[in-house]
């Protein structure tokens, strides 16, 4: 279960590093998203990696292939273990991300990071998709994008836990199925529209669950993380 839990550090660097120190030995993965990365730059990834964590850099790259390849190369060079691109950028862009990740990791002698594709954000529901001209609904659209990611060669995808079972069937046993929108039983959903509990997501086939505020805003983040880690054991 420790391999499955990713703790999202959507905070400032001082708070993030304090949380990381407290979670050392409890969790293996930490997520650096836009809030932390844009405030602190690539050095925060290196610092967390040097503390012994696997770092999931969630910047959701989405640009022309040349730009994405360059960004992916830098993420590979800094030792990220996994990072995200938007699948709606298309197959050529996703292949460019793979090329960049490989080139960057070779330059620094690190393992090549896994590249995973964001399908439909967990903050969106069917009505939100219709408002931007997508009539097929969140489930069908997420599966369509996941198929494009699979054909492009990505190692996996990001989806809501509600799509995890269908994604596992589509992508196979080895694919990474990373699910944000995780809330323990009774926890507030906040700005997430498509959520599930940790046990529901894992039972549906998620390889990784991303948990932020239920851990990082808890009075005792270590106890909160341990409670989630106990889900699969119980």
Residue 190 pLDDT exceeds 60 = no
Cα four-point dihedral sign 50, 34, 117, 214: positive
Label residue 188 by pLDDT band (50, 70, 90).
low
Residue 172 pLDDT exceeds 80 = yes
Burial class (CB in 10 A: 0-12, 13-18, 19+), 90: middle
**For this structure, is 54 an active site residue?**
no
Determine the average pLDDT of the residues in 9-28: 95
Q: Which of 31, 54, 60, 150 is catalytic?
A: 60
pLDDT at 221: 95
Of 199, 227, 195, 225, the closest CA to residue 212 belongs to: 225
Label residue 233 by pLDDT band (50, 70, 90).
very low
Q: Which pTM does this prediction carry?
A: 0.91
The full set of domain ranges for the chain reads 5-233
Q: Tell me if 112 sits within 8 A of 105, measured CB to CB.
A: yes
Q: Tell me if 55 sits within 8 A of 27, measured CB to CB.
A: no
Q: Tell me if 148 sits within 8 A of 90, measured CB to CB.
A: yes
CATH number of 5-233: 3.20.20.70
Per DSSP bridges, beta strands 156-158 and 114-118 are parallel
Residue 232 pLDDT exceeds 90 = no
Determine the average pLDDT of the residues in 67-75: 98
DSSP 217: T
Beta strands in the chain (DSSP E): 5-8, 29-33, 54-61, 82-86, 114-118, 156-158, 176-179, 208-211
């Amino acid at each position: 279960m420790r391999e499955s839990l990713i703790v999202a550090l959507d905070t400032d660097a001082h708070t993030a590093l304090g949380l990381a120190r407290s979670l050392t030995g409890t969790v293996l993965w930490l997520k650096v998203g836009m809030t932390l990365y844009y405030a602190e730059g690539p050095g925060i990834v290196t610092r967390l990696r040097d503390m012994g964590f696997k770092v999931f850099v969630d910047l959701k790259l989405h640009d022309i292939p040349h730009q994405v390849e360059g960004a992916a190369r830098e993420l590979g060079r800094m030792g990220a273990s996994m990072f995200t691109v938007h699948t709606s950028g298309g197959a050529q862009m996703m292949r460019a991300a793979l090329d960049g990740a490989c080139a960057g990791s070779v330059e620094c002698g690190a393992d090549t990071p896994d590249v995973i594709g964001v399908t439909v954000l967990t903050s969106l529901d069917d009505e939100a998709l219709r408002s931007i001209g997508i009539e097929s609904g969140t489930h069908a659209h997420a599966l369509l994008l996941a198929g494009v990611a699979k054909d492009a060669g990505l190692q996996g995808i990001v989806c809501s836990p509600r799509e995890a079972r269908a994604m596992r069937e589509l992508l196979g046993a080895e694919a990474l199925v990373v699910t944000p929108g995780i809330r323990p039983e009774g926890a507030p959903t906040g700005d997430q529209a498509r959520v599930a509990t940790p046990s529901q997501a894992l039972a549906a086939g998620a390889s990784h669950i991303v948990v932020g505020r239920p851990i990082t805003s808890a009075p005792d983040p270590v106890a909160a993380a341990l409670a989630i880690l106990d889900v699969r054991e119980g």
